[in-house]
Structure 1
Amino acid sequence: MSDRKTLTPEQRRLLLATPAGWLACGFGSGLAPVAQGTFGSLAAILPWLLLRDLAPWMYAFVLLVAFAVGVWACDVAGRALGVDDHRSLVWDEFVGQWIALAPALWAPWWAVALGFALFRLFDVWKPWPIGWLDRRLKGGLGVMADDAVAGAFAAVALAVLLRLLH
């Protein structure tokens, strides 16, 4: 069992050897030596560039599927690591970032940077109920839920700011 900060070489191999681990660590972005959540959130923008072309109903469907698959993947990876919410598990950042960027689907490029910053703010700050969810829920659902709510908070803030700046 490792602490929440470091992965042993064996744990890194475990993550990259299974589809659940590969997805849970954000295709390797969660293996950054520092700021794993920030690297995961940045990496999430690349697939988002493809997702933004989807119809709104399909975008919402992809978010739901990504969340559900993330619960499974992060649960499997967390059990393999022996740590419920290891910082290398960043699929929650992917989904949270995609939720946060929903208002940016039809906005100028700078809205993506603002959405990124807002998501990171809410994910790190963890105002209620984000922090409550982070402390109370365990397993894959615990990994995913607080970031989904942080993404929703960031999406609302981004939508308001875009409206005010329009």
Structure 2
Amino acid sequence: MPPLNETPAFPGVPHAAPPRRPTARFMLAHPAHLLALGFGSGLSPVAPGTAGTLWAWLAFLAMAPWLSTPQMGLLIAVATLLGWWASTVTARNMGVADPGSIVWDEIVAFWLILWLVMPAGLWGQLAAFVLFRFFDAVKFGPMAWADRTFKGFGWRGGFGIMLDDFAAAFCTLLVIAAWSFW
């Protein structure tokens, strides 16, 4: 592991000094990086959060026939805890509090949405995708609060990376529920 340095944005906070823009080599250097970067989807040079969400959608559809509803819920719970750890480690090693290339938060949050809206058809899933990407990108209300309140390194930063996407998932589910009600 490279020597620890300080970052100007966060004085006194140690971090490793790999490249700020992750590479395949960085991703494969640690299991946390592989997970946090969404098995490579976060390496997309354009819209990594969207690439991660698309990966989540495909992975969910591939897993769904093999997992029961409780098993999928357990997978999401375990993936959340692993994501907290992986996001914490990867953000620290990148020296960036909430790098856009960390997409495991999008993946797990979108799995949660799909788990709760299934058996939605293609149009329902697409609507969930668009709503989630909107709420995740715009970051107003609860997403902004989570992003602002839990910014930084350590457990708090990793938690914040995951939390703002769960807030976006909540808002997505709220809109879908309201739409279904009418």
TM over 0.5: yes
Name whichever structure is richer in helix by fraction.
1
Question: Which whole-Å deviations, capped at 9, do the CAs of 1:44-103 have from their partners, x for residues lacking one?
Answer: 111111343433322222111111100000111111111121111000010111122234
Tell me, which stretches of 5 or more residues in structure 2 are unaligned? 1-6, 10-17, 152-156
Give the TM-score of the pair, scaled to structure 1.
0.86
1:1-166 → structure 2 map (5 Å cutoff): 8=19, 11-12=22-23, 13-53=25-65, 54-138=67-151, 139-164=157-182
- Show structure 1 runs of 4+ deviating over 6 A: none
CA pair 56-157 structure 1, distance change in 2 beyond 3 A: farther
* Higher strand proportion (structure 1 or 2): 2
Greater C-alpha radius of gyration: 2
TM (norm. structure 2) is 0.79
Identical amino acids, percent of aligned pairs: 40
Question: How far is the alpha carbon of 1:127 from its aligned partner?
Answer: 2.4
How big is the alpha-carbon RMSD for the aligned residues of Structure 1 and Structure 2? Answer: 2.3
CA separation in 1, counterparts of 2:50 and 2:21?
24
Aligned 8 A contact 1:52 1:105 in 2 = no
Matched residue type, 1:146:
D
Alignment-mate amino acid for residue 23 of structure 1: L
- Cα distance in 2 between the residues matched to 1:10 and 1:122: 24
